[in-house]
Amino acid sequence: MLLVLASGFAGTILDVRDCAMSFPHHDGLWTDVAEFIGARRRPGESVLAPDLFAYRLPGIRRYCDTFLRPDDVYDWAVVHKGELGSLSRPVLERIAKGRAVLANAVFVVWHTGERCSAIPGDSAHLRSFEALLLQQGKSGAPQDLPPWGRLSLPPGVSAATTFTDMLFEVALARGRYTDPLSLIPSQAQVYSQNGEDGVIAEIFARIGSGDRSFVEIGIESGQQNNTRLLLEQGWRGIWIDGASEGVAFARRTFEEWIRSGALTVVEALVTKDNIEAVLDQVGAPPRVDLLSLDVDQNTGHLWKALRRRSRVACLEYNANLPPSLGLQVEYRPELAWDGTSWYGASLKALEEVAADKDMNLVGCELMGVNAFVVDRDEAQGNFRAPFTAEEHYEPPRYERGPAAGLGLGHPPSTRARRWS
């Protein structure tokens, strides 16, 4: 078993890739560890790691797994010193009994096997970790609960009356979720981040699937995205991402679909100035059935610049921004999301771009991550009106969904599959 301990980011802005989750490729302290593990990891070996390592080490297990499945054993693990509280204490202590085999100013790597030589036990990096672990043990934090279970609420207020729950009750009272035309009840998760798989299926059940074509920009490694389920059902399309490791993983995993011509996987850092040229180079049609666009910082800018049309679009929005304000961040293509609320576009801003493209906003998924828009003519009578941000806005509920380890079912297959 291998354990990696990280003290934090070396920089404040990750100038990396346009993607849903960006690995700090220009931070040598992170890349050294990723390369160390990548060079030694054997097929089938499990990796426990922060989400940022997903691009360099595909198929990672998340910190929340240590609470949900405390008896699991990991071949490798990547632990952030600043996030020790995000790991189950018993699991962390069990893993930390291994042999330390690599250390730098940010990371310590542990391994119980014989493939790597141990570093000296008096390493300053090891001592700093032990001190943090000891300090955490004295803090009295409730280690039997994961972070999302440690809610700090005023006396007399239950977890059922948090702010997002109150907003849910308001929407429920207004009939948003009980309306037969609402998309919320159709949510289901096979490969999507939240319930997007189910929402997309319901949209096309109502308007027809057309020629079953898609373009998705921001696919990570192809394991988790909004069009994998469509691909495995016989759809055809294009995947684009800027991270070479993720693209390489997707090409290996979906080699059969690429050979058949059903899938094209493109490595490209998409900007509003090159988005059309990138699609031209791979022969993308002028109109597809589904566009999925998730590039965090500049989603709204890229969608506005895109001249190609789609019958349906799935777009990430910034749920921290009020639904009545048409705001988005300034366009700076060199920046990636810095982990704060300063990113992307508000739901109202996407509604306004949709209007320019003769499309209507028809709903959002419940976690407050992605919005759905549909061709104006096809939206009429098929979805809940009015088609406004104020009507369809969902607040951020990240602590209630898969991002907090509370998935909608079994974990997805790491192998390409077919559905019939």
Percent of the chain with pLDDT over 70: 82
Q: How far apart are CA 389 and CA 346, in angstroms?
A: 9
* Token reading at 316: 């990430």
Dihedral of CA atoms 370, 376, 381, 382 in degrees, nearest 10, equals -40
Sequential DSSP letters for 38-79: HHHPPTT--EE--GGGGTTSSSPBPTTHHHHSTT---SEEEE
pLDDT at 146: 46
Residues in the chain predicted with pLDDT less than 50, given as ranges, are: 1-21, 140-161, 404-405
Give the single-character DSSP code of 107: E
Q: How far apart are CA 303 and CA 77, in angstroms?
A: 37
Q: Are 77 and 4 within 8 A, CB to CB?
A: yes
Proportion of the chain in helix, strand, coil states, percent, rounded to 5: 35, 15, 50
Q: Are 91 and 65 within 8 A, CB to CB?
A: no
SS3 category, 238: strand
pLDDT at 118: 81
The full set of domain ranges for the chain reads 2-147, 160-404
* Token reading at 80: 């952030």
Q: Which residues pair with 107 in a beta bridge?
A: 6
Report whether CATH 3.40.50.150 matches the domain 160-404: yes
Q: How far apart are CA 49 and CA 5, in angstroms?
A: 10
Q: How far apart are CA 173 and CA 175, in angstroms?
A: 5
